[in-house]
Structure 1
Amino acid sequence: MSTEQSTTSDGFSYTLTRTLDAPAGKVWQAWTTPEQYARWANAAPGSVDMDVRPGGTWKSTMITPDGGRVPLTGSYLEVTENRLLVLGMDVPGKPAPVTMTVELDGEDGRRTRIVLRQTCDTAEERDMAEQGSTMLLDGLSAFLAEGPAD
């Protein structure tokens, strides 16, 4: 469950901040465990693979609201357990990966402030990426609110 969200945009960058009603370790596991990630990130079952370490790779196939499938790939640039993920996302036609930063701050052992940041090349790319990141945070919030998996 989310208790707060704020959004700031600067040029072609955006920052989303949300407070989640879950400890940082639980949020980290949701973001870095393929089975959990697939449940909340609209990923096709069996499509998520994660080697969560600097230089490790990740992949998933996102299912769009209209039922389409979008393959995503990338690598982990920085990893600090329960605190920081810096992801490189491969984008066709771009010479370098697009970088997304995910920061976790366990506020009181029960709640976690999550901050997503990304810089894009155009306003259109920024708006699409921000919409996608907001959908990710919505899915993560709902997943965490469900409680433990059966």
Structure 2
Amino acid sequence: MTKEQTTADGFSYTLERVLEAPVPAVWSAWTTAEAYAQWSYAAPGSVEMDVRPGGTWKSTVVTPDGGQFPLTGSYAEVEVNRRLVTGMDVPGKDEQTLMTVELAEESAAGTHITVTQTCDTAEQRDMAEQGTTMLLDSLTAFLKTVN
């Protein structure tokens, strides 16, 4: 059962889904380097996470055509099993781009996930939304293999 809702407002987007996994499993998939690497299109060995406010993360994303993009950032907010605000470093920009992931129990075995991000332009928003949709699709498939 995957319910999905997308809302775009200005240069922001919000994606919502119900995942067939308990909140702690979804949290672990998003905040454990070994698990995250399995579903996030990351190059092997490239994911590092220090999941605490002010902690840093890095990952190298591999695109479908084989290109590699190193990403870095930090954690602005961490509320275990509830809310994760991740900042991503953007070349040429002083401030990080923030992505908020919120988790809520939908049922004993289900999690409502909401991902929100604000970008500088409509084009950046559309690209980020497409990337996040791919991530959520991959996360959904990954959770089916570990539950």
Match of 2:38 in 1: 39
Give per-residue Cα distances to partners, 1:5-64, cap 9 Å, x unaligned.
110000100000000000000000000010100000000111000000000000000000
Give per-residue Cα distances to partners, 1:65-109, cap 9 Å, x unaligned.
101100000000000000000001001011100000000001222
What TM-score, normalized to structure 2? 0.98
How much does 1:145 deviate? 1.0
What TM-score, normalized to structure 1? 0.96
Match of 1:141 in 2: 140
Match runs of 1:1-150 below 5 Å: 2-147=1-146
Structure 2 Cα separation of the partners of residues 57 and 141 of structure 1:
25
Structure 1 Cα separation of the partners of residues 137 and 2 of structure 2:
12
How much does 1:147 deviate? 2.5
Structure 2 Cα separation of the partners of residues 140 and 147 of structure 1:
11
Alignment RMSD, CA only? 0.8
Q: Unaligned stretches of 5+ in structure 1?
A: none
How much does 1:146 deviate? 1.3
Structure 1 Cα separation of the partners of residues 131 and 121 of structure 2:
15
- Residue-pair matches, total: 147
Q: Letter of the aligned partner of 2:14 in structure 1?
A: T
Structure 2 Cα separation of the partners of residues 123 and 3 of structure 1:
27
Structure 2 Cα separation of the partners of residues 35 and 106 of structure 1:
24
Q: Percent identity?
A: 66
Equivalent position SS for 1:3: coil
Structure 2 Cα separation of the partners of residues 24 and 34 of structure 1:
17
Structure 1 Cα separation of the partners of residues 108 and 44 of structure 2:
31
